[in-house]
Amino acid sequence: MSEKARLCTIIMPYYNTDPAVFSRCMQSFQSLPPEALLLIIDDGSDAAHAAFSDAFARENVRILHQKNGGVSAARNTGLQQAEGKYILFADSDDCIKDGFVQNLCRQADAYRAEVLIADITIMPDGCTDTTGYPKETVLPGRELAAKNPRLFAGFDLCYSVRMCFDRTFLQKNRLRFREDMTISEDMVFNMQALALSQRAVAIGESYYEYWLDTPDSATRAPYKPGYFDSLEKQYEACRAFVGENEALRRQLAAFYMDFAFYELVRNEKAGECLGYERYRALCESPMFRESILLLGKDHPCENQKAQLLYRLRHARQYRLPYVAAIK
């Protein structure tokens, strides 16, 4: 099929995915329409896994092999090689539902959307994770985000697999995934796309199954190298995105103190790298210090030391030397 006739490209990073899991994933792509291209970017898998992925190649399933550079590098290669009007994303341990391509692209056409946001289905439970955006309302991306009361707490900026992007829009704005981040790189990409979009829309339908039964995936591993650095970069991008919108600033601060702080402490402990100096650096980083100062008495303590102690207790890490860490 010519590039001109192509409707969309689905970009899928692949790295040593369990063969049974990848087979389940590819089974869901059996009914992929001919006008869609599935572009699988093998990001430096070992020989056996690379050969296993090659077995799935067909007319509209293309396998590209590259040296290992991380998931962002794989997605960026996909963006460079993509064809058609729209860009969709998938992960090699998930599944798509019937109508994934047809329905998302059809609705993106109907709304003339640069960015379309859908629900996803969490598996194996089968529950729907719906976003807090107003549905079926076309707005500039920043305005759509500002109307979401759970933008950060609901992880509604995450998961590029729930998004459909106009390829010309991405090309015009030179949008790429950050290759210096190991976690939350898709959140930053989605946020940058929303910030630049004049036509963004959310729909209340799910065509994607996000599977949680692969414990060795990057997001579910007990220890994530580079998590602290990625969180700092994520915070900088989030802070730039919310600007001076007070409601979104408070949402962001609450997210970093209620979720990110706890996850970071747990991650550092899992990596056995939470010594005193490391702990002090975490506490003094802008993402937590600024969040504490903004929330102040309302959430729920009166000063930085008390606020941090509250968070440590919430994280069940209150035996750490918290008092000396914040002056």
- Which residues, in sequence order, are CB contacts of 7 under 8 Å at separation 6+? 33, 35, 36, 84, 85, 86, 101, 105
Could you tell me the pTM of the whole model?
Answer: 0.90
Q: Residues near 247 by Cβ (< 8 Å), separated by ≥ 6?
A: 146
From CA 77, how far away is CA 131, in angstroms rounded? 29
Question: What is the model's pLDDT at position 190?
Answer: 98
Q: What is the pairing mode between strands 95-96 and 200-211? A: antiparallel
Distance of alpha carbon 79 from the chain centroid: 16
- Confidence label for 295 from pLDDT (cuts 50, 70 and 90): confident
DSSP letter for each residue of 1-55:
--GGG--EEEEEEESS--HHHHHHHHHTTTT--TTEEEEEEEES--HHHHHHHHT
Q: For residue 147, is pLDDT > 70?
A: yes
CB-CB contact of 200 with 141 (8 Å)? yes
The neighbouring-strand residues paired with 208 are: 96
Tokens (6 digits) for 134: 């107003």
Please compute the mean of the pLDDT values over residues 21-33 and round it to a whole number: 96
- Determine the Cα–Cα distance for residues 308 and 289; give it in Å rounded to an integer: 9
103-130 tens-digit pLDDT: 999 999 999 999 999 999 999 999 999 9
The per-residue pLDDT for range 270-279, each reduced to its tens digit, is 888 877 777 7
